[in-house]
Amino acid sequence: MLIAGTLAGIEERRGPEGQKPLLSRKWLSGAQAFFAIAGVVIAAILGYCLWESRNLPFVPDIGTLLAHRDVGGYTLSMSHFFDLTGPSFAALRLPAGIAAVTLLIGPVLGWILRMRRKHLAATISVALTCAVFLIAAHIAFARFDPMLSSKQLADTILAKGSPSDSFIIYGDQSDASSVIFYTNNFLHKPAYIVLEPCSPHGNGSSLLWGSCYPDAPHIFLSDEQLSKMWGTGERKWLFAQDENQSKAGQLLAHRLYPVQSIADKELWTDRPLQ
């Protein structure tokens, strides 16, 4: 929206409160040329990646193919970009192909139109390029759904569980926040979290603030508490991600019943499903 406002201001020769415009159309032509060069470079990179993955099979669950390099502790917005491998890129052929063609044609066409002083047509080409690129990005997000979302696991609990069941996260609340979101109205109770944030030897939690007050809900469990309650009372569902899966497996040994696995996420229950 900010870019669109800037483009409109330049083309309409508007300035702040009736003053002269801050940027000229020459600046706009230069920006369009930069956009064209960047588009060609990105299209070339995507084309190379597509060529390298041309003979690799398509795998629906892209999360199983990522390298999991943990760049920046996955706290950076582009951390997962470094996890892409040849096999994982094969799952992104369609969005990558759409993006490559769009970025190769759209910006160059817009620059040609800008040089011919067809400014309205050039701006429309920028808008169309962005719109098609966002479609490609949406397709890519859908391919990353098993990695980015846990809704499939929540759907399993809703389909096979009952409102009296309990949901337990082996790790931090942020690991399974989407499962909590989708199952909250069904289970009508908070999820248990296997962490001890208030213990001197605890490893912290995103829910640390307020969790150590006397009136805080008792949702945090130790390994010993989890082991004692596992297999007793109503059905328990256990979620674990990444390295926590091996810890849960060692703690509960042969008392885990696998239910579903997607990407780096695992869901177990404490008794066989009917």
pLDDT at 75: 66
Edge-to-edge strand ranges of the sheet holding 257-262:
192-193, 166-170, 236-241, 265-269, 257-262
pLDDT value for 70: 65
Q: What is the mean pLDDT of residues 3-29?
A: 70
Q: How confident is the model at residue 147 (pLDDT cuts 50, 70, 90)?
A: confident
User: Are 66 and 84 a contacting pair, CB within 8 Å?
Assistant: yes
Which pTM value belongs to this model? 0.68
Residues of 82-108 as b/e, b for ≥16 C-beta within 10 angstroms?
ebbeebbbbbbbebbebbbebbbbbbb
Position 39 scores a pLDDT of 94
Instruction: Give the per-residue pLDDT at 36.
Output: 94
User: Minimum mean pLDDT among 91-100, 154-163, 207-216: which range?
Assistant: 207-216
- Give the pLDDT score at 202: 53
User: Which of 271, 266, 264, 234 lies closest to 248, judged by CA?
Assistant: 266
Identify the pLDDT of residue 61.
67
- CA gap 194, 238 in Å, rounded: 10
Say which amino acid occupies 191: A
Burial of 127 (0-12, 13-18, 19+ CB in 10 A): middle
If pLDDT is split at 50, 70 and 90, which confidence band does 74 have?
low
Residue 150, pLDDT score: 86
* Residue 203 CB-density burial (10 A; 0-12 exposed, 13-18 middle, 19+ buried): exposed
Q: What are the tens digits of pLDDT across the range 31-58? A: 889 999 999 999 999 999 888 888 877 7
pLDDT of 242 higher than 60 = yes
Question: Tens digits of per-residue pLDDT, 103-143?
Answer: 999 999 999 998 888 888 988 999 999 999 999 999 988 88
Res. 169: pLDDT tops 90? yes
pLDDT in tens, 172-193: 888 889 999 999 999 988 999 9
